Chains A and B, each alone.
Chain A
Amino acid sequence: MTGPRVFITGMGAVSPAGNSLNALTSALHQTGSALRTLGLFSAPSPLPVGEVPDVPPQQDFPRTHRLAAMAAEEALHNSGAEPDAIVLGGTTGGMLTTEERLKNKQHNPESFQWHGLVTVAHHLARHYNCSGPVINVSTACSSSTAAIKIAFDMLRAGLGKRILAGGADSLCRLTYHGFKSLQLVDPQGAKPFDRDRQGMSVGEGAAMLLLVADDTPPPDAVAEIVGGGLSCDAYHATTPHPQGRGALRAIRAALDEAAIAKTDIDYINLHGTGTPDGDLSEANALSHLLGHKVPHASSVKGMLGHSLGAAGAMETIISAHSIANGFIPANTGCATPDQNMGWEPCLSPVSQKVQTVLTNSFGFGGNNASLLLRGRERGGGLSSKKRVPLTVKGAACLTGAGDRNQSLDQVRTGYDCKGSLPIQDISSQLEANLVRRMKRLPRMALALAKAARSDAGTSRPPGAVFWGTGWGPLSETHDFLDRLEQSGDQFASAMDFIGAVHNAPAGNLGLYFEAEGPNLTTTAGDHSFEQALYTASLMADQLEQEFLVLAADEYHPRFSPLFDASVRSDPAPSDGGGALWVSASEDSREPKIMPPFLAFSTRGAEVIPRLVESLGGEERIREHTGAILLGIPAQLRDTAENQLQEFLDLTGFEGPTVDYRRWTGEFASASGTATVLAVQFVREGMVPASLVGGREDLPLRGREILLLGLGEHITGIRVAP
């Protein structure tokens, strides 16, 4: 039994070569570098960067959002119907605008409404009236490759017919000075695989692809995506494994999924940023895989720079173009290939038939992603894909009251768990030397993960890590920007930069647990945990080992009220999260979480009926649900209450509902905490009296607990005994 195939039918690109796909491909044919001295903002001794020319000046939206919109417009130009889902990768979001407003001492929250990474995807979802899943991935340099892989899996699992997938990132001070502080930037411009390479060049851009599911190639198909692989190096925060061990895992996973022989690969679009260690690691991985038979290979980062979250999608587009046009771009920037590699990249373009392309994205922190593309005529089936329920073996949470048991005790006595646990308490089970460089959020993530695994009664490494965070490591982000500003842009903290990326806490987990499988980070405001759960249930059918799904957010006194409107409205600053140790294999003794429902609530869309259907239908909900936990973000209370009323009217559910943020406090990952509490209730077979407003605990008698997330996204999680 095979599932549908996945074809690329639309592409759009905004890059340092220009504002269109055509500008990009023309530049590739001409081979010259598009790197220029930084002009977008002032910096001491500005370096060469990949800066997009001629972007209309700032109006309503930050630069990243505008780049994304331009590329999406081009990708969807001829396509007609709206996308069923949007899956984007990105690392900067509205950061450039945020930096400028902080510098100008603007402190009104409206100035920061576009700060969040997921707001880029929201911007597109509203414009294209998309009411399906709107997912945001942030795994540093591999973000948009991972986004494409997720979209690929969704299409094969029948979760839509047309998905807009891609990535966008703008230049900003955080990434410009951050990479510089790591001493990974080449002052002359990146020279990937050159003997004298000194480092990368930071860049920006946006690349969007329309992916469609079909059994046969549609007439406008450019190429087919046939497989993808994700892995984690679990080696070091910034240096890849010297032999490319993690990279090899991702490449092999892609080949296995596509059921393609490695010798079929005609062209490898390299990650090749130009860093001494990174390029060598990738070169070694390819030598291990292919011996002396490495086919034509090139990196485009010597021409375009490294556009971080957009790079993967940009290079997928270049790979598809390569197939459609029989054209292999040159590895611009390389004059004298490094002889230690055992092979040479293409020093000039090559014209030849290209049928099978491997494209690599190996991110800092060791998040690796590879994709395989084929010509539309090649054909071949893929095994079917389906989402699977997750059996919960271990569950842990953190609130202002403490860990899971402390939080439950608090709730049972009728008191809420709002507040922000002192960092010494969070770190009490964490070895001091291990966490000395970690600020608040990474410590929360590590404490949660350890506790969930311990609750599962195992000491094995997780097969994968799915991490969600609404706002990322705010302490590190704040301290990095503060130090930069205080020093007049002269000095930046490498430690804070490494810790500031949203996927850093997940990278730490990979290192700590030696977890080398997929390592994904989803950042989608109040629905980050649900998106982590969604991607986990999508990929679980390929995971044999047990794995982690978790989310957390920290309260930062300066940034949290500025960025998160719900936090502003609650006088009790709160933070916390939840972690689940799960398995794809069935176990009737343990609670199960069904594959969750995700949607974006655009005006007029019939989302609630789809939610009801996904949770089993009206009658099932009425008969089999013991209680419903509601995630109602304070800033969207009115919208949420309307959505809830529609749900209750449609289902006729008359049982207890719990507005859980009144118990956990307002923070983006509260849904993770609530899900863990729900799991515990299902394990115990009852919901505490205090929550349901009764005198006695509510016995569940085999019934389920639903968690509904309301507001900008609508989400549904079903926890069954």
Chain B
Amino acid sequence: MESLVRELKEKIVTTLNLVDVSPDDIDDHEQLVGGRLGVDSIDVLELVIMLERDYSVKIEDREVGSTVFANLKSLADYVAANKPE
């Protein structure tokens, strides 16, 4: 799980082109969307695509999305639970 969290942090920084943010700067429990990192709804769309492409995990609707992207922990939990073996 640790390595998944680490990997997700790296992908978030790269996919979203976050400036002056290294993966280590992101706290597992800090608010991901609408928080200090400046991640917004358009970024979420890119992350949805990234999840499907890299983990075969689909986010089908906005409600699921808003809980999944709450923070890194919830994201990693969802990916771990839903990625095909």
Contacts and interface: CB of A to CB of B under 8 A. Distances in A.
Interface string B41-79: 111011011001100000000100000000000000000
A491 B15 CA distance: 14
B19 A183 contact: no
Contacts of B48: 183
B20 interface: yes
Given A181-B49, A183-B48, A487-B53, A494 B18 contact: no
A491 B55 CA distance: 13
A436 B17 contact: yes
B38 interface: yes
B16 interface: yes
A491 B53 CA distance: 7
B41 A239 contact: yes
A215 B53 CA distance: 61
Nearest to B62: A183
B42 A436 contact: no
Contacts of B38: 433
Contacts of A658: none
Given A436-B16, A436-B18, A436-B19, A498 B42 contact: yes
B49 A491 contact: yes
A183 B46 CA distance: 11
Contact of B46 (A238, A239, A493): A493
A492 interface: yes
Contacts of B41: 236, 238-239
B53 A490 contact: yes
Interface residues of B, number: 16
A182 interface: yes
- Chain B interface, DSSP helix/strand/loop, else mixed: helix
Given A432-B20, A436-B17, A436-B19, A181 B45 contact: yes
Contact of B45 (A236, A432, A433, A494): A494
A177 B46 CA distance: 13
A437 interface: yes
Contacts of A494: 42, 45-46, 49
Contacts of B42: 237-238, 437, 494-495, 498
25 contacts: A181-B45, A181-B49, A183-B48, A183-B62, A236-B41, A237-B42, A239-B41, A432-B19, A432-B20, A433-B19, A433-B38, A436-B16, A436-B17, A436-B18, A436-B19, A437-B17, A437-B42, A487-B53, A490-B53, A491-B49, A491-B52, A491-B53, A494-B45, A494-B46, A498-B42
Given A183-B62, A487-B53, A491-B49, 19 more contacts: A182-B45, A236-B41, A237-B42, A238-B42, A239-B41, A432-B20, A433-B38, A436-B16, A436-B17, A436-B18, A436-B19, A437-B17, A437-B42, A492-B49, A494-B42, A494-B46, A494-B49, A495-B45, A495-B46
